[in-house]
């Protein structure tokens, strides 16, 4: 399936609302992005926070899910969210060509190869590991 045709197959604005809310909590977000997975043909929202390394991904994930519930965001299923450490290989890979600082960006990134790894499609809000 052509991932560029699916770029809007997720709620961009809901992702921004979630990230803005997380920025007001005790969960420092270093990277946030949607990534298309070809094998399952779906998008997953990745939130990279140092808390995933310190307290474990489950504790950080629980905080993200709590914010989804607080904001009543139903367009992002908790099962489509992954919370990872900023040192995760996926974050390191995507941060090679893209750095955003702490602001929220809207970067569409599709059909690119980074260090020999093909990235079918990504939508990046923040990449500041």
CA-CA-CA-CA torsion sign (63, 127, 124, 83): negative
- pLDDT tier for residue 8 given thresholds of 50, 70 and 90: low
* 18-73 per-position pLDDT tens digit: 999 999 998 999 999 999 998 888 899 999 999 998 988 899 999 999 999 999 99
CA distance 90 to 13: 23
Number of independent structural domains in the chain? 1
Taking the C-alpha atoms of residue 95 and residue 99, their distance in angstroms, rounded to an integer, is: 6
pLDDT in tens, 72-111: 999 999 999 999 999 999 999 999 999 999 999 999 988 9
- Structural domain that includes position 82: 3-127
Q: In what order do the strands lie in the sheet with 81-84?
A: 81-84, 42-48, 31-37, 117-127, 107-114
Q: How far apart are CA 33 and CA 106, in angstroms?
A: 9
């Amino acid at each position: 399936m052509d991932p560029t045709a699916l770029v809007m197959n997720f709620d961009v604005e809901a992702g921004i609302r979630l990230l803005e809310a997380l920025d007001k909590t005790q969960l420092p977000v270093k990277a946030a992005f949607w990534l298309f997975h070809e094998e399952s043909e779906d998008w997953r929202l990745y939130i990279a926070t140092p808390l995933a390394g310190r307290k474990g991904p489950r504790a950080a994930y629980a905080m993200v899910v709590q914010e989804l519930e607080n904001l009543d965001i139903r367009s992002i299923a908790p099962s489509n969210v992954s919370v990872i450490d900023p040192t995760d290989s996926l974050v390191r890979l995507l941060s090679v060509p893209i750095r955003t600082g702490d602001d929220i960006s809207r970067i569409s990134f599709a059909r690119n190869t980074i260090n020999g790894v093909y990235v079918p499609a990504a939508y990046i809000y923040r990449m500041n590991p």
